[in-house]
Amino acid sequence: MVRRPLIAGNWKMNGLKADAVALAKGVAGRCLPQPPSVDLLVCPPATLIDPVAQALAGSPVAVGGQDCHTQSSGAHTGDIAAAMLRDLGASHVILGHSERRTDHGETDALVREKAVAAHQAGLVAIICIGETEAERDAGQALAVVGKQFEGSLPPGATAENTVIAYEPVWAIGTGRTPTLAEVAEVHGAIRALAGKQLGAAAQRLRILYGGSMKPSNARELLALADVDGGLIGGASLKVEDFMAIALSSNG
Ligand code: PGA
C-alpha cells in the first residue's frame, strides 16, 4: 500500500504578516517548476492563515490551522471554530499538540470532540500523540501513546479525514529524537491499533513523525515503513530546511 507522504510545517506562535508571506512564497517558489512528490502543508498562526492562503494560491501547498474549538459558533471568547479556518482556505487542522495539552490542559476527550468539529467543517484533523520522557523511561511509551490514540480518535475517522502525528514530547524542540527502532516500534503499534478501528483502511492512514525532524535526520526517519511524513516545527520556519526535508522523502 503506497501512502503519499505528508510534510507539514507547524509554525506555532511565530511570525508577523510579512515574515509569513515571505516564508509561504519561498515554499511555493520551491515547488516550481516541479513540486516534490509529497503533499505539503503549512500551519501558520490563525491570524496569518488568510495572507498565507493568498500567498499560496495556485501552488500545491495546503494551509492548516493549529487548533479549533469543539463548537461551530457561540460565546467562546478568543476561540476559533473549524468552519472559520475553512473559510480562510484551511484544509487541515492540528489538534492535541503536546503544547496545547500542556498549556491548555487539553485531554484526549477534548481532542476527540475537536476532531469531530473539524470533520464536520470538512477539515482533515492531524491528531498529535506522544509520551513524555518520564513515561518513556518508565517503559510506558507504547501504553501512553495507545491510550491517547484510542481516546483522541473520533467516531467517523477515516484514513482520508484524519492524520496521526506521533510526537514524543521530549523530542519537540530539543534536538533529540528517539532511535529509529523506537520510532518504528511506536508507528507500527499505532497502525495496529488503527486496524482495530479502521480495518483495512488503516493501511491508508498517514502516521507522521514529529519532534526535532531536520534535514540531517529526515531521510532515515522518513524511510521507516510506517512513517508517512513529518510534522515539523523549528525547521519549517526556514524554506531551505523545510524543502530539504520534503525532498528527503521517497514519496
Ligand atoms: P520541532 O517541533 O520540529 O521544533 O521539534 C515539532 C512540533 O512540535 O510539531
Our mutation pick for probing the ligand 1 site, out of 174, 214, 232, 241, counting the most ligand atoms within 8 A of Cβ, is: 232
Residues with catalytic annotation? 97, 167
The Cα-based distances of 147 to 154, 158, 188 in angstroms read: 13, 19, 15
Ligand 1 mean position, distance from CA 41 (Å): 14
Give the position, in ligand 1's atom list, of the atom nearest the Cα of 235.
3
Ligand 1 and 168: CB distance under 6 A? no
Ligand 1 close to Cβ of residue 211 (< 6 A)? yes
* Residue 9, SS3 per DSSP: strand
> Is the Cβ atom of 126 under 6 angstroms away from ligand 1?
no
For residues 171-195, b (16+ Cβ closer than 10 Å) or e, as one string? bbeeeebbeeeebbbbbebbbebbe
Q: Could you give the CA distance from residue 100 to residue 115 in angstroms, rounded to a whole number?
A: 14
Which residues, in sequence order, are CB contacts of 142 under 8 Å at separation 6+?
Answer: 185, 186, 189
- Nearest residue by C-alpha to atom 2 in ligand 1: 233
Q: Determine the atom of ligand 1 nearest the C-alpha atom of 165.
A: 9
Q: Which atom of ligand 1 is nearest to 213's Cα?
A: 3
| Ligand 1 pocket, residue 231 CB under 6 Å | yes
Residue 211 DSSP label: S
Consecutive 10-residue averages of pLDDT for the chain (251 residues): 92 98 98 93 98 97 98 98 98 98 98 98 98 98 98 97 98 97 98 97 98 98 98 98 93 59
Cis peptide before 33 (omega within 30 of 0): yes
What pLDDT does 250 receive?
A: 66
The response to whether residue 212 sits with its C-beta less than 6 Å from ligand 1 reads yes
pLDDT value of position 251: 59
Ligand 1 pocket: which of 7, 10, 132 to mutate (most atoms within 8 A of CB): 10
Ligand 1 centroid to 10 CA: how many Å? 7
pLDDT of residue 2: 81
| CA 75 / ligand 1 centre spacing (Å) | 32
Element (H, E) at 194: helix 180-198
Specify the pLDDT at position 1: 58
Q: Where are the beta strands (DSSP E) in the chain?
A: 6-10, 39-43, 61-65, 92-95, 124-129, 162-166, 206-210, 229-232
- Which protein residue's CA is at the shortest distance from atom 3 of ligand 1? 233
User: Which pLDDT score is estimated for 44?
Assistant: 98
**Cβ(9) to ligand 1 under 6 A?**
no
In short, whether 96's Cβ falls inside 6 Å of ligand 1 is no
Is this structure's pTM higher than 0.95? yes
